[in-house]
Structure 1
């Protein structure tokens, strides 16, 4: 910085000897301080995806490019520009890449871009087989944990408060992926937590009705959620199940006699965790049974 100051003063005075003595400042420093016509965000976004889709690029370079891309699309304007720049197609094509870390990175980008962002949610809805790809990945037993978690994260942010995407999610049998995750004793808690977050996000976009509850029963979502209260000791999972049930109760849903009996037994079992659970959700469920 001191060298830059001497150079600036010498240039202002036109002192050639002083300019020569000060030497040329670091061009990068000049660009940081004053700008320099560097690439704009859309260009940087396109360049990042070009690296990701380059078959000759090293995987480390691709992952760095995806990290940079995600930082850029944390800006809503950049996220909404994904469609204008025609970048949805190469992003979705990268979900077929054999490298699981790269696939996870793409899913993280989708989730981040869609978070509380209606224009990006709308643009993703237009992508042919985009939602179905994410559902397939999230429900695939042979897929690695991190990729499945990121797929559930992306799905949650896509359907949250978006009735059309939520409707499409159901049409594509998206609810079918939740029960198997909740009932599998070998599944990691992180994946179950993500599945329950998706379920809660879905409820924000739909009207809770008897028809919806019938669907939740048919797809084994409601029974598996109730069973989770018997099978789980993980506080995060129990909290999310109680929150899901509380949403239903607050909307006027009545449980069947069998569901009520099971809920009563399961609430009794998790009473030891009461002080660590959300008090309002716990009380709502307890009062309903």
Structure 2
């Protein structure tokens, strides 16, 4: 139910909005120092606004089913009256907050990682999607948060979402985002992923009906090849898990698994094509002089390259390569 704003609160808001610059900060310091017993912490909060830490805590409270008047509207709800939309908005707000590095790191300090990760197994597909999104954003390019996230061993759950036939395309795409953010520049995460048979999961996602998920998989593989300290070992693992041959086959119309929920789309998507070829170029460059592509694999990739070069309007620049890099790649396949 709703209630009108208390007159004293309305007066307080008017005072805040019309206060002289600098006076609010000075008063806040006095309250903190105990020199203004006439002002309580609620008034201080209204004067100075909430910290991001407070906002994150309140988001998680709503997600967990505890009502918080986050808008300051004066609305009151019983916990049982919290709607799915209230929770979804709290997830969206939390995701925006953890875009900030310090806020993401505060998740561990505030004990918020556990309740967030718990929702990766929620019965509501929309909640799982949001949980993957928040986790992926929090750990992206953030070693400290990656470590805190990995301490909860979430990768088995993320993999199960990717392999699930019940999860929506959108949720699986967010799970891939979460996985990519976790594996990027984190050798412990890659090792754990390998232990869990993660490459087989990527073999599956390369054949997923969702073209978006296939493209994200190809992009992730390219990133992992770039960052790998042992590219030959990675290539061997991808070969053993059938990830490498599946990717190569996916780049040719004659061997690719059709996309779409009913397999109705047979053409190779340009974005997927370019990201897949970029992975192969990275693999060839990274394993130069070592155990790289086999003769059979090179023959298949050569055929794919010839098909690409015959596509009207296509250029090696679409793969992100300069002409000399493209020519070097083709020579390495010979």
With normalisation by structure 2, the TM-score equals 0.72
Partner SS state of residue 161, structure 1 = coil
Matches within 5 A, 1:134-173: 134-173=158-197
From the superposition, tell whether residues 98 and 283 of structure 1 become closer, same or farther in structure 2 (CA, over 3 Å). farther
**Partner of residue 133 from structure 1, selected from 157, 169, 177:** 157
List gaps (5 residues or longer) in structure 2.
1-10, 25-45, 66-78, 257-266
Q: Classify 1:233/1:282 alpha carbon distance in 2 versus 1 (closer, same or farther; 3 Å).
A: farther
1:249 aligns with 2:284: yes
Q: Please tell me whether the aligned partners of residues 30 and 36 of structure 1 are also in contact (alpha carbons under 8 angstroms).
A: no
Flag structure 1 segments of 5+ consecutive residues without an equivalent.
Answer: 1-22
The C-alpha deviation readout for 1:126-153, integer Å capped at 9, x for no partner, is 11x3121111111223321011000100
CA contact (8 A) 1:226 1:263 kept: yes
TM-score of the two chains, using structure 1 as the length reference: 0.83
Does the CA-based 8 Å contact 1:208-1:248 persist in structure 2? no
* Displacement of 1:272: 2.8
Structure 1 distance, partners of 2:231, 2:210, is: 31
Displacement of 1:223 after TM fit?
0.5
| SS, match of residue 251 in structure 2 | helix
What is the correspondence of 1:180-219 to structure 2 with a 5 Å cutoff?
Answer: 180-184=204-208, 187-219=209-241
Q: 1:279, CA displacement in angstroms?
A: 5.5
Shift of 1:204: 4.1
CA distance in 2, matches of 1:105, 1:116: 19
Aligned residue for 2:52? Answer: 41
- Asked if 1:259 corresponds to 2:297, the answer is yes
Residue 237 (structure 1) aligned with residue 272 (structure 2): yes
Q: Deviation per CA, 1:52-78, whole angstroms, max 9, x where unpaired?
A: 111732011001111111111111101
Give per-residue Cα distances to partners, 1:158-182, cap 9 Å, x unaligned. 1111111111111111111111222
Please name the residue that 1:288 is paired with. Answer: 332
The alpha carbon displacement at 1:270 in A equals 1.9
- Deviation for aligned residue 1:30: 5.3
Aligned-partner Cα distance in 2 for 1:174–1:148? 15
- Alignment equivalent of 1:85, drawn from 104, 110, 122: 110
Work out the CA distance in 2 between the residues paired with 1:134 and 1:120: 16
